[in-house]
Structure 1
Amino acid sequence: MFFDDRLATVLRQRAMGEGSLRTQYRQLLDLLGRRRIHAPGDDHSLLAAAWLRMDALAEAIPADARARMIREPGWRFQSPDLASHLADHEPEVAAAALTRADLASEDWAALIPRLPVRARGFLRLRRDLPVDVEALLARLGVHDRGLPAPAPAASDDAAQASAETAARPTLAPAPIATRPAQPIPLHPSPANRRDRDESGRTEISALVERIAQFRRSRGDNPIDLEQSPRLPLGELAQRPDRTLSSFGFAADTAGRINWAVSDVAPMVVGTRLFGADDAIARAFARRQPISGGAVSLAGAPAITGEWSLDAEPHFREDGHFTGYLGRLRRVPDPAARTPGPEAREADRIRQLLHELRTPVTAVQGYAEVIQQQLFGPAPHEYRALAAAIAADAARILSGFEELDRLARLETGATRIEPGESDLAALVRRTAAQLDPVLAPQGAGLDPAFALETALLIGLDPEDAEALVWRVLASLGAACGAGERIGVTLASLNSPGGQAMARLACQLPATLAAADNLFAATTRSAESTINAGLFGTGFALRLARAEARAAGGGLGREGTDLILTLPLLRETSIFADTA
């Protein structure tokens, strides 16, 4: 006799890190999406625990991350209970769930009257619902999308949100089939109708405030700024010029795009991919894969132009054709510069890395399955070995990422993101991280500038932190016993007049004796400090490529290693250097 213990196996796992939390949430989506509550043979307490675990995970995972997991292309679920449960969550989660639900007509008929009014509106975005379901939505007056709920800024809003949360059931919802449909109050009773809320605002003023909050919350996002409607009051929105190079999509059986990644969807949803008699139309009719199809898009400047289409037909488990899943890539400009030998070599390296990632990722995945006992108990020795293999695979993958980043930077395929970072603060923080490791041997870094010094550079904080770590960790790993590294900061003007930040670090004796600091053969002695998988020479070469991509440089001047980066503004040093 066989039984399905996958749900119990998932609930036995203790999710600690962010990755394991998301993995467990995705596993619960799969398992709860395939079954009905209170099916014959189900353990009701186990199902209740699963719903509780899902709600607990939802509090730890951001709503946009959960929505992305639900919106993954090709994933659908057939459980009306899961649709009902997720419809009470955040708007983006509810919208994603009701878009991915693949229910029978009778399940929709029982579910829709019980959905929150806000959630019903999301169903109007679908074009694949049965005719009777469309008619039910029309009878319920679901015609358009509404404004998002206001942020709970005032105390009365917070109290109302708390009351709604308290009223929400904490256990699994009752079976869809056994719940009688509730009558729909088409006309609110006079007792429930209010002209003013508790704060004294009229309904019109509250609506105006919601619109203002809606526009304020979207004003800082350039993508949302392009999509948001504006009244013709004469003002001009500052919209950055941008173009897209590729995006994923899903198309229905008629060849119209009905899903795309979130920042592109408003510009392409509803667009038909083919005409009456082209090759793409013939492939659609024959349910064949499409490779390199020519598509011309018009509309917003970000998508206007010629595109190359790669797509695969998609079928449900019962064999019913549901459309295509694919990707559109912008056709490169023929007038663009032909890549040189270095660019072609870097492209071959990136392709090789892509081929190598697949087996390493598979090894890592199988090791994690054994270590976490996802498919059953395993001896402790096997779990320890699997954990070591997973860690080694993670280090190898991180090394691949460094190789890929270097290839992209040296060929101009990627760039350092602009931003604002305090170089002085990054140097102080990195030196403090290295100090506990170097202190036992009397070594360390000595920043020779005042604590109040601030030197603002025009780099993204994450990119700037990674660059400073590669430089200082490489020097720290090469330190001998009692060796102290002096670090100074200054500002200067480049020959072109650009204000630059200058970080000067003394070279340890082992590196000062090297002929070429950036050679692959340059390696430090054994150290617990890890600047990169491939040694000091490679780490410094990657740091040099990052500095050059940011508009600066990294080079050797005598016994010093000099890093220069563009200043955000010339008045960036607020304290005199020591």
Structure 2
Amino acid sequence: MIATILRHAPADRRASIAVWRQLTDILAQRGNQLSDDDIRRSFHALSVLRPQVPENIRRDCASAVAGHGRFAPLVAFYANDVPAVSAAMLGRARLSDADWAALLPATGAMARSILAGRSDLSEAVRRALVSLGAGSVALPQPEVASEAAPPPIADEVVTAAPAGTGPSQISELVRRIDKYQSTRSQPSMQPSSASPEPRAPRAAFLFETGPDGVINWIDGIMRGAAIGLSIAEAAYGDEPGTDGVAAGAFRHRAEIINARMVLAGTPAESGEWRFSALPWFDPATGQFRGYRGSARRPRGNEIPYGRPASLDSVDPGDSIRQLIHELRSPLNAISGFSQIISSQMFGPVSGAYRAMADTIIADSASVESIIDDLDTATRIEPTASIAPATGEITDIAMVMAHVESDLAPLLSEQHIDLSISRVGGPFLARSDDANSRRMIGRLLTALVDVSETGAVLVGQLVVEPEHDDMLQLRIVRPVAIRFATATDLLDPGFSPDGEAPGAAILSLGFSLRLVDSLARSAGGRLDIGHNALTLHLPSANPSGNVELDVKLGE
């Protein structure tokens, strides 16, 4: 049958599509029964036809055969197509553990990320994914709109992280920041006598990459330290990866000599390496197949003075800050293009598109604020309690007025009233204006998010004569958290009844921890009492000049 299909070359695009469908169907159903020569000829034909077959046709074919296909070479062929086609196949393909183990090293990072989002793979396959460097959270899979009605089987394609089944990427980032802060604030533990002795640092290893530059074979160190890293792209800063020398040589298929590589992992493998590699080509076809090389530890004269030779001395918060940077970059691009559309810089734009652009700009500003909070959380020392070196003094009453004005749309949307009375005065604090706004704004926003519709959020801004070293902003607990313990309120996973939908982005626990960290960096603190939450800020009022004048706010 294969010989019959391939007897004549397809005459036009329609014939190419027909041959593509036929070969895909035969390989999916009878691939394990075909001869090696028929399999080889079929895949050669598919490789030749792929540029002539539209992406949506390839995607539909992948969706149609993924559920019942058991032929691993066909799954591997589709897995190395564009992301939309790869996702359609890998989202539902069913293979044995042995087939997955043989297929995974030949897949790219995107394909492995798609597989990492599946919940039906065996533990052995998941361990293989981890060893190859697949992320613990799958990347979002592409959403493709089809002109024709999709086949019934397409509705069953598994997508990564469905709503309600796991934390969002930002929630996962919050969890990582919280873990980082908690471990940084704890004293280092001395290893017990029962702990195994650390392995001696490795001095050299061999490796091999595929044609995409991703390391897929290693000998001499643990696989997880290097498998999945790419020599085709330069890594950012001290993140695991290689330098620009290797990336440039890879583009020209040139020899790589003493390029820099950084690995993460156990002390035995982590740190800087120097590697050299040669490209290799298929003897039969001349096709580029990747690089083969060796790596060694750098000599003393190859490391600049003062640079750590190991990643152990690198701040673990750097990786989180790099992730925040990667979130911020596309967000700025989206916001910038939306502003171009909204302002009609390149010509007239319809009202509907301008309205959509304005919505995107507003949403981008909200996400930017969240990213700023995440960035701040990684930079604050959890035990810091030092007044600002600048000695800046801020009028907290004015800050409160600005925050109340900023919160007016949110309060109106959720039908919540905010009533903060002023007791005493003046309300001068030793804190800079930006951090004061962030502390008070984040505290009030978090409490508004957990307040019931129609509720009144009541509080006081107080200066007490007997405690004039501190200003106090007291907010009565909303009903939803009236009886919650302090431990619950500081838990990023805590979700009180009545919590507003927007509160799930940055949890109440994360927000309260951020406020407390900012307050302590200014010499204050956040107290969680039985009836109220109290933000303390160091007072800058002249001693003895505190007036007891009650000013009622709206």
TM range (shorter): 0.3 to 0.5
Which structure is richer in relative contact order (CA contacts within 8 A, separation 6 or more)?
A: 2
TM-score, normalised by the number of residues in structure 1: 0.35
